Structure 1
Amino acid sequence: MHGRADHPLFVMAITMENHGPLHLETARPGEADALYTRPPPGCEDLTIYLRHLRHADQMAASLRDTLESLDRPASLCWYGDHVPILPEVYRRYGLPSGRVPYVCWHNWASGPGRSLDLAAEDLSRYWLRGAGLMQ
């Protein structure tokens, strides 16, 4: 990353990696066996979602590693905008709560994080306060 170390850096990354529509793809041979102890029958969309989720996790780790290596403060907020659209999985196993996880991370913080239940409209305010950019 380039730029002056004494200036704040804002990076906004949006990924559609695990967004879908999942039903337009097919699971690769052996993919279900690599993801499950016992593949659930009729849940190919879940297998495809998990593939994409792995890729998104790898991208998040790469982004975090890059930000962590900077010699200036850096912060990351990572979240999903909705639960995945998996109608067959929900028919078989029930509807999800509708809540999506998030993480707010700063390269100057260490130790265990904490879990908070926030409304989506409160997340940006929480993150900006944690980054010291808002009171």
Structure 2
Amino acid sequence: MKIAIGNDHAGPEYKKAIVDYLTSENIEVTNYGTDTADSVDYADFGHPVATDVETGAVDFGIVICGSGNGISMTVNKHAGIRAALCWTKEIAELARQHNDANILSIPARYTSIQQAVEMVKTFLNTEFEGGRHATRIAKIPC
């Protein structure tokens, strides 16, 4: 499995913990995020993640900013991207099961690092249910 990850200045510690988990699971990670708390623009790190998911270079993406909203809005502008802003593992599970989300958006200022890692685990280990959900997703324009 391959994952692209991107974050702004609110997420370096979150990204580090997530990348540590992913690499411990032998998951290949492409890192587009910043490693410092110096102010940066989340779009600069979200677009490359979305492009990798969009083109199939990776299986899933993970994006992190303070609220999770700005970077989620950014990646959702790309064709075929279904980024889900999640703040619990239960929401991450539903985002995969019902929405076939392909990018997980994490709000660093509103979740703990432990919660974020749990969301990633759940997101990556949950399958899309298809069926009536596939019909609904087909109505989302690309």
Question: Is the structural similarity TM-score above 0.5?
Answer: no
- TM-score for the superposition, normalised by structure 1: 0.31
Q: Which has the higher strand share?
A: 2
Q: Which has the higher helix share?
A: 2
Rg (Cα) greater in structure:
1
